[in-house]
């Protein structure tokens, strides 16, 4: 009886690992190698970031090209969505891409707001055509090398899932119609794991923004392992190849009368004349202005960072599900200021889990 139980257990574990994920191999360039997101409006890789790419053997850069947002009513056109915050690549960076980054795969990434998605609920085909055409033109104009994938980033919900999935189908059809050598991927947030699987070729599991940042009492909304593990059970048999993205950023969140006001950056929280501190909460002692943003006495700023232990604990929990097939670890995102908070060994630990 014990032997039967042991054999049954082995067969069960084998069945889990022999899903379509296991059809990939460790030497498949599409599923191996370290990667980073680049999420700025100007492409400008400095010497520190270039050193980071080489030292950590980065194989792919997920490059945000533009956002898709709802067109304002005063725009005066029939288009219901428009591109926003388009990436600009200065002339001096063209040579860097051509000479120093020619071996790296660039993956154009498009962020789509929920309002934009709702605007085109009945005509995803037009939006898909606009996205594919604009991405193709930007890739050619900027001479981005090794483009073999397009990624759509959208925090779809139960009520907008159908719209996003239809958009994915339409984008794939446009890619095929234009005979472009691109696969299609999408980001997948933790809460989306329990829902239906998007009709894409692969996904990136985004393991950040795990907490409720609207709640002043949340300790760290960027990454919290106790929150992460609550969502992971669908990974046992998730029928889509997943790479995994972890955060390396920090931010400051402003609250007024316990209501979330917005994100801040670069406020000198260590100034005792401006703030009193309790843990990672800083209460303003007087009114002042920071980067044209008015901060009033009594306002609270919560400072959060991507805690290394939180990243490694979350990674360890995820690897219990994904360790049986090759996948990439991705950092969000390539920024020398944020990455300087980690040692080289700590970055290696995030990439390797060792």
SS3 of 19-70: CHHHHCCCCCCCCCCEEEEECCCECCCCHHHHHHHHHCCEEEEEEEEEEEEE
Note whether 147 and 262 are same-domain residues. no
Question: Which pLDDT value is given to residue 12?
Answer: 37
Specify the number of domains making up the chain.
Answer: 2
At 323, the pLDDT band (50, 70, 90 cuts) reads confident
Look up the CATH number of the domain holding residue 329. Answer: 3.20.20.80
Greater confidence (16 vs 120) lies with 120
In a domain, 9, yes or no: no
Note whether 194 and 329 are same-domain residues. yes
In a domain, 48, yes or no: yes
Domain with 93, as residue range(s), is 29-249+306-352
> Are 291 and 206 in contact, with CB atoms under 8 Å apart?
no
In a domain, 310, yes or no: yes
In a domain, 6, yes or no: no
State the Cα–Cα distance between residues 98 and 53, nearest whole angstrom. 15
Note whether 232 and 273 are same-domain residues. no
152-204 tens-digit pLDDT: 999 999 999 999 999 999 999 999 999 999 999 999 999 999 999 999 999 99
In a domain, 33, yes or no: yes
Question: Which pLDDT value is given to residue 27?
Answer: 38
Asked if the model's pLDDT at residue 5 lies above 80, the reply is: no
Note whether 68 and 177 are same-domain residues. yes
287-321 tens-digit pLDDT: 999 999 999 999 999 999 999 999 999 999 999 99
Question: Which pLDDT value is given to residue 211?
Answer: 87
Note whether 284 and 137 are same-domain residues. no
Note whether 157 and 274 are same-domain residues. no
Adjacency order of strands within the sheet including 281-284 = 259-264, 250-256, 300-305, 281-284, 275-278
Note whether 103 and 133 are same-domain residues. yes
In a domain, 98, yes or no: yes
Least confident range from 16-30, 113-127, 237-251, 257-271: namely 16-30
In a domain, 10, yes or no: no
Note whether 112 and 242 are same-domain residues. yes
247-283 tens-digit pLDDT: 999 999 999 999 999 999 899 999 999 999 999 999 9
Q: Considering the chain, what is the average pLDDT of its residues?
A: 90
Question: Which pLDDT value is given to residue 1?
Answer: 37
Note whether 241 and 258 are same-domain residues. no
Question: Which pLDDT value is given to residue 31?
Answer: 59
């Amino acid at each position: 009886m014990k032997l039967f139980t042991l054999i049954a257990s082995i067969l069960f574990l084998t069945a889990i690992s022999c899903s379509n994920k296991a059809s990939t191999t460790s030497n498949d360039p599409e599923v191996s190698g370290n990667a980073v997101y680049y999420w700025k409006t100007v492409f400008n890789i400095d010497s520190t970031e270039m050193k980071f790419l080489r030292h950590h053997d980065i194989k792919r850069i997920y490059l945000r090209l533009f956002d898709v947002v709802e067109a304002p009513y005063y725009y005066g056109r029939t288009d219901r969505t428009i591109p926003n915050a388009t990436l600009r690549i200065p002339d001096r960076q063209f040579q860097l891409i051509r000479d120093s980054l020619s071996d790296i795969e660039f993956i154009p990434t498009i962020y789509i707001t929920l309002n934009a998605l709702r605007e085109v609920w009945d005509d995803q085909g037009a939006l898909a055509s606009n996205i594919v055409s604009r991405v193709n033109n930007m890739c050619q104009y900027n001479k981005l090398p090794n483009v073999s994938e397009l990624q759509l980033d959208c925090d779809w919900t139960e009520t907008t899932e159908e719209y996003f999935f239809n958009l994915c189908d339409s984008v794939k059809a446009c890619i095929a119609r234009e005979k472009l050598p691109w696969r299609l991927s999408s980001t997948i947030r933790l809460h989306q794991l329990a829902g239906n699987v998007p009709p894409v070729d692969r996904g990136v599991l985004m393991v950040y923004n795990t907490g409720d940042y609207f709640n002043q009492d949340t300790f760290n909304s960027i990454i919290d392992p106790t929150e992460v593990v609550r969502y992971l059970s669908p990974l046992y048999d998730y029928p889509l190849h997943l790479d995994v993205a972890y955060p390396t950023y920090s931010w400051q969140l402003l609250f007024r009368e316990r209501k979330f006001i917005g994100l801040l950056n670069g406020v000198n929280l260590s100034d005792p004349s401006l703030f009193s501190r309790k843990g990672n909460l800083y209460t303003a002692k007087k009114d002042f202005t920071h980067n044209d943003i008015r901060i009033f006495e009594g306002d609270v700023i919560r400072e959060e960072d991507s805690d290394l232990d939180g990243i490694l604990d979350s990674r360890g929990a995820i690897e219990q599900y994904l360790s049986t097939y090759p996948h990439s670890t991705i950092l969000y995102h390539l920024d020398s200021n944020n990455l300087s908070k980690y040692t080289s060994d700590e970055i290696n630990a995030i990439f390797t889990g060792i």
